[in-house]
Amino acid sequence: MSMDDQVWITGLGAVTPLGNDLRTFADNLLAGRSGVRANELTGLATSLHACTASVGVIPPPRDWSPLDFTARNRLEQLSLTCTVKSLDDAGVWDRRESLRVGLVLGMGAEYLRVWELDILAGGRRVYEPAQDSQSIVHRIHSDLGLRGPAVAVAAACASSGFSFSLAREWIQSGLVDVCLAGGCDLITPMAYAGFFNLRALSRYAGDPVKASRPFDRDRDGFVMGEGGVVFVMESARHARRRGARAYAELAGFGSTSDAAHMVIPSTDPQPASHAIERALADADVDPGDVDYVNAHAAGTPVGDRAESRAILLALGAAAAHVPVSSSKSMTGHLLSAAAAVEILACLAALERQAVPPTINLDHPDAECSVRHVPNEAQAQRVRVTASNSFGFGGSNVCLVLRAA
């Protein structure tokens, strides 16, 4: 692939448990600060949980009507803020109506709140299509006057990972000049209760900061997080023509679907391993050239072991020296937005030339024998990163970023 055909990330907008801009996020991530707290969200039965990683009040975009903003549901607020911030950061906010700007977001299930309100109202409420995640994407597309295609992607925890692939395809095919891609998700009572009843959530009763423990032998499930990140992507040719700076190149994408079980990872590591291998091949990167792997590792006993086996199989002998960590130890698991916030973690690694740690990794599980980065960041050369996202139902995605 020629340099002109590369797809660059040229803007970002974020609202996360670790901060709402790359500098703050990177500072907290590399310092090993956790965004997990004793639950502050209303509507969750306290008997079900101890902690979450929430974002609190969502800041409105600049120059946006507060009345209009507060009238929208929280998922739409989150998606709108991240989208506007990313366009502004990329320097295309004032040019958006003259460009073909696409929008593809991995979206969560905030519309489940409609069902919750229906239950509270005794079944008397009427479903409103405007609450649906697909409609949220299209409403934002309309409100911002975008001229490209728009779609919501739903593939469980791999949703926003697929959004990057679709955006890259639209750019490389010439369908759009610029594309917004990423994901947003929020914690709702129904979603929380569902994961709790699946026994996927941590029951840790001590200090909330210690609850998310990927790869640790004492892990007992994930901590739910919320937030979102939306990125501006465009071809290197288009970015150079308008004098844009690049955060990184989206160099590779790989995906597979094993469909082994609705919620349990496949016992065969090959499908997930193939997703990693395909992403590296797509980027024309050898395993030994990878400087950092941001693992999906959410802290579930079976999930972390399954991913470790997949990483070892995909990287082969190089696995002995490629550092692997899980930013979910600090952000919690953002579900549909997980891949997006973990791409932000990879950008932090590329910018700061340091690998973020897995905090709370005090006793590594012997069955998770990757090269860990326990508790403290590791300064080193970082030019190529890989990020895994493995969703319920067997959706396996790997994304490769390269310094531009």
Any residues with CB less than 8 A from the CB of 67 and at least 6 apart, and which?
none
Q: Which residue has the higher pLDDT, 74 or 122?
A: 74
pTM of the model: 0.94
Please compute the mean of the pLDDT values over residues 356-376 and round it to a whole number. Answer: 98
Amino acid at 176: V
pLDDT tens-place string over residues 73-118:
888 999 999 999 999 999 999 999 899 999 999 987 655 655 565 5
In a domain, 246, yes or no: no
pLDDT at 324 over 80: yes
Residue 311 lies in a domain: yes
pLDDT of residue 194: 84
Q: Which of 238, 333, 346, 398 is catalytic?
A: 333
Among 374, 359, 355, CA closest to 292: 355
| Distance (Å, whole) CA 342 – CA 334 | 10
pLDDT at 161 over 80: yes
Residues 116 and 163 in one domain: yes
Find the catalytic residue in 49, 238, 296, 372: 296
Catalytic residue list contains 51: no
Q: Are residues 393 and 280 in the same domain?
A: yes
Q: How far apart are CA 76 and CA 106, in angstroms?
A: 13
Catalytic residue among 51, 82, 141, 157: 157
DSSP, res 268: -
The count of domains in the chain is 2
The torsion region of residue 171 among left (phi > 0), alpha (psi -120 to 50) and beta comes to alpha
Residues 49-70: tens digit of each pLDDT: 679 999 999 999 988 999 999 9
Whether 4 shows a pLDDT value over 70: the answer reads no
Could you tell me the CATH number of the domain that includes residue 392?
3.40.47.10
Query: With bands split at pLDDT 50, 70 and 90, how would you rate the model's confidence at 168?
Result: very high
Active site residue 296: yes
Same domain, 27 and 157: yes
225 and 126 both lie in a single domain: yes
**Would you give the DSSP letter of residue 155?**
B
- Domain span at 43: 7-241
Compute the distance between CA of residue 186 and CA of residue 115 in angstroms, rounded to an integer. Answer: 15
- Are 270 and 226 members of one domain? no
Judge contact between 223 and 205, C-beta under 8 A.
no
Do 271 and 219 share a structural domain? no
Determine the Cα–Cα distance for residues 69 and 78; give it in Å rounded to an integer: 10
Verify whether residue 141 is a known catalytic residue: no
Angle CA 368–373–375, to nearest 5? 110
Q: Do 331 and 227 reside in the same domain of the chain? A: no
